[in-house]
Amino acid sequence: MATTLGKTNSGAAFGRSIPRVEAQAKVTGKAEYVHNLRLPGMLYGKVHRSTVAHGRIRGIDVSAAKALPGVYAVYTAADIIKLIPEPYYGPAFHDQPILAVDKVHHVGEPVALVLAADPHVAEAAAQLIDVDYEELPAVFDEVEAMTSKAIVHEVLKPAGTFPDLKHLKGKRDTNIALDFHLRRGDAQKAFAEADHVFEHTFRTQQVLHVPLEPFVTVADPTPNQLVIHTASQSPSFVRIEIARLLGWAENKVRVKVPYLGGGFGAKLYIKTEALTAAAALLAGRPVKISLTMEEQFYQITKHAATLRIKSGVTNEGKVTARECEVWWNGGAYADIGPRVTQKSGFTAPGPYDIDHVSIDSYALYTNLPAAGALRGFGIPQLVWAYESHTDMIAKALKMDPLAIRRKNILREGRPQATGTLMRDAGIEKVLERLAQRMDWEKAFDKGGGAIRRGRGIAIGFKASISPTTSVAIVNVSADGSCMVYCSTVDMGQGSDTAMAQFAAEALGIPVESVTVVHPDTDVTPYDMATLGSRSTYHMGHAVKLAAEDARDKLMQLAKDVGLSAETTPIPDIFRKKYGMQAGNVVGVGSYIPSYTSPDAQGQTDNATPFWMIGATGAEVEVDTETGEFKITRLVNLVDVGRPVNPAIVETQISGATMMQLGFTLFERMDFDAGQCTNASLADYKIPGIRDVPLVMENEAVDMVQQSGPFGAKGVGESGTFGVSPAIASAIDDAVGVRLTSLPLTAEAVYRGLRAQAGKPLDE
């Protein structure tokens, strides 16, 4: 290879649909996952889990488990505490114990751990553990949790990481893990003055992320470091949090992340890492804990939510006031739920230009499995509510759904509910493109007879998680090839490919010359986490800065030896300097966007570095006799700024859409007294190939994020936003049945049709 440093930002690498860098490894089955990892002397850990939703532990009898031949050790909280006196972790609250201490807070909570060389022995022994519980009153509903006498945690322990949680420290007798409030203008006055006031309440269900690779961690206590191989989206956080628990320095903990079989938010912060690490240190042996698919149902879920939205509207359909009240069912441990509450909170009024806004958003502890981040970070639930609400207003006012949106849309330069002015937010462009692709203003055949046709549109938006930090290193070798070091986790979204493109574009070298190194905290520098569609923007910036730094140093190197870097092949520059193929040029980039914390009213002039916009149009056919419906067309439009890799962007949009389709049509965790009754993929249906809409179109609209690296912004979640309300509105458009709870089932439509006809269900 005799590459010359080409032009930077020439479009040679960025914006091209190059194949994914990991494609070959994956299709040949050679890509390595933590599940494949076996270390000499490794023990397998199996968890004994709580059978009650809320209870005090009177005693744990591990004698039968210990007596089972082949069992190496059985640990309970009493053992953990010898190693870690304060064994509570969490990104927002230090509320989650490594193993249950004194109390259990949900069914499925880890109470004891069995280690054995044979995982089947460990599994059998875990079932022999007998725990005596004193059951306590439990609360499962998020709205009830506001006022319930059943208190999940006796005292709140914020982690100290987020300023808006600090006032909760030491608070008792409450299930509220965060209350977010935003006030803009005077909503109550505006309601009084409005021509119409509409108020609707919506429900979303608790669902699962269902990465096809269940969570797995191997902890290896080497002499100088504790090495943790884990299927995590946040290696830097795992390192810092495990080091904190142990009272160690960061560099005594090494976290390595190979390929991930999906993440979607299920693998963020600490999941099984603390338990695996503690067990490995107690045992003095490597330990692997790999969850079964069933166990994933107890590990982390998406928040169920109740959302009440009230709007004041003029006769012309202009929304003048909006009140939103949202209760997020956070389950037994806060995880990152308070951030979901706050980050989604301030966009609750939707992409609309409303002068008077009042938002109250609550993260609530309940006795269900903990909820955390899931693709969209609360936005799909919000959009489901506010876009259903928009259509219900339009219908009441006999307005066209497109027209009411055109009237109210938040246009470029206008203040969002926080007061932050909209910049580079393609709300209008995406909406208009959706109208165009849906032929919205042309006649639509609504069918007849038993089969009725309908259509719906919905648009949502999201802020980036801010302010968060990414650091990258770019190392150019003497032959002009290049290594990129960053802790962004490629979990299928194609970030390795994107980062290679960023580096190549910024350096001005072929993308084929770039290798991206897998996250390993001993190797790749700090990154906040791979979540919230932040990597393209944040790590993209960091990699670009690092590559630019390397380019500057390479230019200087050339200058030092009397050469021009623009015309001399890179190997020749190194050769002139070092006399042979030798040396490296190393560039460093560190990026954090600017940000202004909101004031007590939730107001800030800088709420986010960029906005993500996603819209969906749906066409459905509904069978009026059975309530069954099928999606005949789904159009998904997203503002991604400039797409880094159009082919990958397309798969991000379609993947997000399909995932949201599962939540829209089938997925729901069912509970009976806190016990999940469908904790298996036999009972919990996720979308299959037959569930793909007959026609599905995905498009990145033509936009540029001026502040983004080469004009790019995040895309991982935007495809989820509009799916649920577009389909609900299409059903309503077809048969006049408005569903306000997810999932949207044929049964619910049938019930609606029967009620509409004034007929009993069984006639």
Of the candidates 241, 239, 286, the one whose C-alpha atom is nearest the C-alpha of residue 84 is: 241
Return d(Cα 427, Cα 413) in angstroms, integer: 12
Instruction: Tell whether residue 592 is a contact of a copy of itself (CB under 8 A).
Output: yes
Q: Count residues contacting a copy of itself (CB under 8 A)?
A: 60
Contact 310, 199 (CB under 8 A): yes
For a copy of itself, which is the closer residue by CB, 583 or 736?
583
For a copy of itself, which is the closer residue by CB, 517 or 704?
517
Q: Within 13 Å of residue 442, how many CA atoms lie on the same side as its CB?
A: 6
* Residue 274 Cα distances to 48, 110, 217, 238, 468, angstroms: 16, 12, 9, 9, 24
Based on the residue annotation, tell me whether 717 is a catalytic residue of this protein.
Answer: yes
Q: Cβ of residue 520: shortest distance to a copy of itself, in angstroms?
A: 8
Going by the DSSP 8-state scheme, the letter that residue 571 receives in this structure is: H
Q: Cβ of residue 223: shortest distance to a copy of itself, in angstroms?
A: 4
Contact 80, 60 (CB under 8 A): no
Quick note: the x/- pattern for a copy of itself over 413-452, rule CB under 8 A, is ----------------------------------------
Instruction: Tell whether residue 556 is a contact of a copy of itself (CB under 8 A).
Output: no
Return d(Cα 620, Cα 454) in angstroms, integer: 5
Q: Cβ of residue 160: shortest distance to a copy of itself, in angstroms?
A: 8
Instruction: Tell whether residue 68 is a contact of a copy of itself (CB under 8 A).
Output: no
Percent of the chain that is helix, strand, coil (3-state, to 5): 30, 25, 45
Q: Cβ of residue 526: shortest distance to a copy of itself, in angstroms?
A: 4
Residue ranges in 203-232 that form contacts with a copy of itself under rule CB under 8 A: 222-225
Instruction: Tell whether residue 562 is a contact of a copy of itself (CB under 8 A).
Output: no
The structure tokens listed for 435 are: 């109208």
Q: Cβ of residue 250: shortest distance to a copy of itself, in angstroms?
A: 4
Q: Is 588 helix (H, G, I), strand (E, B) or coil?
A: strand
665 sits in the region (left: phi over 0; alpha: psi -120 to 50; else beta) called alpha
For a copy of itself, which is the closer residue by CB, 570 or 615?
570
Instruction: Tell whether residue 25 is a contact of a copy of itself (CB under 8 A).
Output: yes
Q: CA dihedral defined by 622, 625, 628, 634, rounded to 10 degrees?
A: 0
Return d(Cα 152, Cα 141) in angstroms, integer: 12
For a copy of itself, which is the closer residue by CB, 38 or 58?
38
Phi, psi for 578 (deg, rounded to 5): -110, 0
Structural element, H or E, at residue 202: strand 196-204
Q: Which stretch binds a copy of itself (CB under 8 A): 114-122, 189-197, 247-255, 716-724?
A: 247-255
Q: Which stretch binds a copy of itself (CB under 8 A): 24-32, 131-139, 422-430, 664-672?
A: 24-32
Q: Cβ of residue 75: shortest distance to a copy of itself, in angstroms?
A: 23
Give the active site residue among 142, 295, 667, 717. 717
Residue ranges in 504-523 that form contacts with a copy of itself under rule CB under 8 A: 513-515, 517, 520, 522-523
Q: Which stretch binds a copy of itself (CB under 8 A): 103-111, 466-474, 631-639, 669-677?
A: 466-474
Instruction: Tell whether residue 590 is a contact of a copy of itself (CB under 8 A).
Output: yes
Instruction: Tell whether residue 761 is a contact of a copy of itself (CB under 8 A).
Output: no
Handedness of CA 149, 152, 155, 160 (dihedral sign): negative
Q: Cβ of residue 402: shortest distance to a copy of itself, in angstroms?
A: 41
Instruction: Tell whether residue 469 is a contact of a copy of itself (CB under 8 A).
Output: yes
Q: Which residue has the tokens 């989820």?
A: 720
The residue type found at 303 is: H
For a copy of itself, which is the closer residue by CB, 478 or 742?
478
Taking the mean position of all CA atoms in its chain, how far away is CA 533? 8
* C-beta neighbour count of 470 within 10 angstroms: 29
For a copy of itself, which is the closer residue by CB, 205 or 464?
464
Q: Which of 276, 290, 468, 495 binds a copy of itself (CB under 8 A)?
A: 468
376 sits in the region (left: phi over 0; alpha: psi -120 to 50; else beta) called left
Return d(Cα 381, Cα 721) in angstroms, integer: 8
Return d(Cα 298, Cα 102) in angstroms, integer: 19
Q: Cβ of residue 272: shortest distance to a copy of itself, in angstroms?
A: 22
For a copy of itself, which is the closer residue by CB, 27 or 755?
27
Angle at 655 (CA atoms; ends 747, 350), nearest 5 degrees: 70
Instruction: Tell whether residue 85 is a contact of a copy of itself (CB under 8 A).
Output: no
Instruction: Tell whether residue 473 is a contact of a copy of itself (CB under 8 A).
Output: yes
Instruction: Tell whether residue 526 is a contact of a copy of itself (CB under 8 A).
Output: yes
Q: Cβ of residue 26: shortest distance to a copy of itself, in angstroms?
A: 8
Residue ranges in 565-584 that form contacts with a copy of itself under rule CB under 8 A: 577-584
Return d(Cα 649, Cα 17) in angstroms, integer: 9
Q: Cβ of residue 715: shortest distance to a copy of itself, in angstroms?
A: 24
For a copy of itself, which is the closer residue by CB, 252 or 318?
252
Instruction: Tell whether residue 601 is a contact of a copy of itself (CB under 8 A).
Output: no
Quick note: the x/- pattern for a copy of itself over 119-158, rule CB under 8 A, is ----------------------------------------
For a copy of itself, which is the closer residue by CB, 556 or 677?
556
Q: Which stretch binds a copy of itself (CB under 8 A): 327-335, 360-368, 585-593, 748-756?
A: 585-593
For a copy of itself, which is the closer residue by CB, 136 or 246?
246
The structure tokens listed for 344 are: 């989604």
Contact 201, 306 (CB under 8 A): yes
Instruction: Tell whether residue 555 is a contact of a copy of itself (CB under 8 A).
Output: no
Q: Cβ of residue 430: shortest distance to a copy of itself, in angstroms?
A: 32
Residue ranges in 480-499 that form contacts with a copy of itself under rule CB under 8 A: 480-483
Return d(Cα 439, Cα 489) in angstroms, integer: 39
For a copy of itself, which is the closer residue by CB, 186 or 520?
520
Return d(Cα 331, Cα 142) in angstroms, integer: 9
Q: Which of 477, 488, 535, 724 binds a copy of itself (CB under 8 A)?
A: 477
* Residue 215 Cα distances to 156, 259, 611, 680, 692, angstroms: 28, 12, 31, 15, 27
Return d(Cα 599, Cα 594) in angstroms, integer: 16
Q: Which residues contact 733 (CB under 8 A, 6 or more apart)?
A: 446, 454, 455, 456
Of the candidates 307, 344, 313, the one whose C-alpha atom is nearest the C-alpha of residue 418 is: 344
Q: Cβ of residue 376: shortest distance to a copy of itself, in angstroms?
A: 23
3-state secondary structure 87-147: CEECCCECCEECCCCCEECCCCCEEEEEEECCHHHHHHHHHCCEEEEEECCCCCCHHHHCC
Q: Is 189 helix (H, G, I), strand (E, B) or coil?
A: helix
* Residue 572 Cα distances to 439, 553, 575, angstroms: 58, 15, 5
Instruction: Tell whether residue 261 is a contact of a copy of itself (CB under 8 A).
Output: no
For a copy of itself, which is the closer residue by CB, 22 or 295?
22
Return the biggest CA–CA distance within the chain. Answer: 91
Instruction: Tell whether residue 96 is a contact of a copy of itself (CB under 8 A).
Output: no
For a copy of itself, which is the closer residue by CB, 131 or 486?
486
Quick note: the x/- pattern for a copy of itself over 654-673, rule CB under 8 A, is --------------------
Return d(Cα 131, Cα 149) in angstroms, integer: 25
Question: Binding residues for a copy of itself, per CB under 8 A?
Answer: 1, 21-22, 24-25, 28, 30-31, 161-163, 222-225, 236, 240, 243-244, 249-252, 467-469, 471, 473, 475, 477-483, 513-515, 517, 520, 522-523, 525-526, 528, 577-588, 590, 592
Catalytically active residues, by annotation: 717
